[in-house]
Amino acid sequence: MAIKEKVTKLYYRKSMRVIAGVTIVIFFVTMVLHSVTMVTIAPSEDKTEAAVNYLAENTEYVHKNRVERAADYLQTLGQEETLEDYYTLAAMQIAREEYAPALESIEKCIALYNNEGKDLYLDLLFKRGCLLVMLGRYDEALKSLDLALAEDPGLADVYLIKAQIYAERQDMEALADCLTAYLHMRPEDNQIRALLAQVQFAEGDYEGAAEQYEEIMQKDPSAEIEYLYGLNAVRNYDFAAGEAALSSAIAKDDSFDGVYYYRGVCRMSLGDYGGAIEDLTVSIEREDMVHASYYTRGICLLMNNEYEKGLADIQYAAGRSDDPEVTKQAWQFLAELEKAQSVDEGSVETAIAGDTIQPEIILPPVDSADSDQ
């Protein structure tokens, strides 16, 4: 091999590794959470419809047997006149999911209310608010719920109904406020605490989300919570915490979306390129975040002095179209490599020292798509 060819090949490899070193610092978060699907901003299954659940749990008629229901029905035959008549009628309408007529009956109850007791009044306000939610009349619902809170600020469940409204409106700030207020009164409710952590994550409050997950893990270190905590740590650039949490989650359940990819990103950022390559290879074999895994593994291979394999992965990533952002990053890397090869070695070192090789940074949006996790 000619001396010039040897020098060119050596320089070519050094260029790839040097640029990889720069891009690893700059790019390591560009795919992080880009394709991840987070749990929907809504309470978990048993609290998804807070308004419906309240009505079902707090309407006596719903829990009665056929004989008792028949007796109630017979009592309502004819013209309703009293608050009790309309209240019984509303209960039957709620049981039949006739929410508009039920609202009319509750409005009649409120009009007929004459200081029969605070508990009854609060129940009427609460039921009216829930029915208005079911009918999509959110502004009116909030007014009724706020009236209930004015009467009794300790009504924790009111905050869940309000949270349902703000979730529908995607008003994350108001949603977080409601969930926080609820948790002040029900700190043991880890389902709602996990929901608050997701809202804080969506709002970019990663420190706040970390606090919620850490609180949950003290009592319930489940694989899902460790996984979500790990993702939050990655987005907060706390890769040591992310690697630890994701490793613990994997040991319990490795079926979560992107779990090996994100641990690979953590290991890459911590300089464990061999461990990162192993994780990213598993991610590819599982057909999980394949596009991003090829690109990121290519960077790790370059840093691990496996130049041909690394370049092959990046070129492959540049040729795929699964994720336009990953394709763009791969092409940008190849362009920087070609640019570095067109100048002498001293210029490249000067560029590295001055941080002039700075590919464009595009931080991913935080997704809140539906997930089975």
Domain harbouring 84, CATH code: 1.25.40.10
| Residue-number span of the structural domain to which 71 is assigned | 51-158
Predicted local distance difference test score (pLDDT) of residue 315: 94
Taking the CA atoms of residue 204, residue 231, residue 361 and residue 261 in that order, the dihedral angle to the nearest 10 degrees is -170
Predicted local distance difference test score (pLDDT) of residue 94: 84
Q: Is residue 362 part of a domain?
A: no
Q: Is residue 211 part of a domain?
A: no
CA 174/CA 179 separation, integer angstroms: 9
Distances (CA, A) of 279 to 41, 112, 204, 242: 29, 67, 27, 14
Predicted local distance difference test score (pLDDT) of residue 280: 97
Q: Is residue 244 part of a domain?
A: no
End-to-end CA distance of the chain: 56
Range 145-168 burial, b when 16+ CB lie within 10 A, else e? bebbbeeeeebebbbbbbbbbbbe
Cβ count near 8 (within 10 Å):
12
Q: Is residue 147 part of a domain?
A: yes
Predicted local distance difference test score (pLDDT) of residue 294: 95
pLDDT along the chain (373 residues), means of 10: 38 46 40 36 43 55 40 51 87 87 94 90 91 92 95 91 89 94 95 92 93 94 94 92 97 95 93 96 96 93 90 94 90 83 47 35 35 40
Burial bucket for residue 196 (CB in 10 Å: 0-12, 13-18, 19+)? buried
Identity (one letter) of the amino acid at 154?
A: G
Q: Is residue 275 part of a domain?
A: no
Predicted local distance difference test score (pLDDT) of residue 110: 94
Predicted local distance difference test score (pLDDT) of residue 341: 65
CA 277/CA 155 separation, integer angstroms: 52
The alpha carbons of the chain give a radius of gyration, in whole angstroms, of 29
Q: Is residue 130 part of a domain?
A: yes
Residue owning tokens 């979560």: 256
Q: Is residue 227 part of a domain?
A: no
Side-chain half-sphere CA neighbours of 342 within 13 A: 6
CA 201/CA 232 separation, integer angstroms: 7
Predicted local distance difference test score (pLDDT) of residue 45: 39
CA 73/CA 178 separation, integer angstroms: 38
Give the residue from 124, 122, 145 showing the smallest Cα distance to 50: 145
Let me know: does 229 contact 214? Beta carbons within 8 Å.
yes
Let me know: does 60 contact 87? Beta carbons within 8 Å.
no
Q: Is residue 261 part of a domain?
A: no
Total structural domains within the chain: 1
Whole-structure pTM value: 0.74
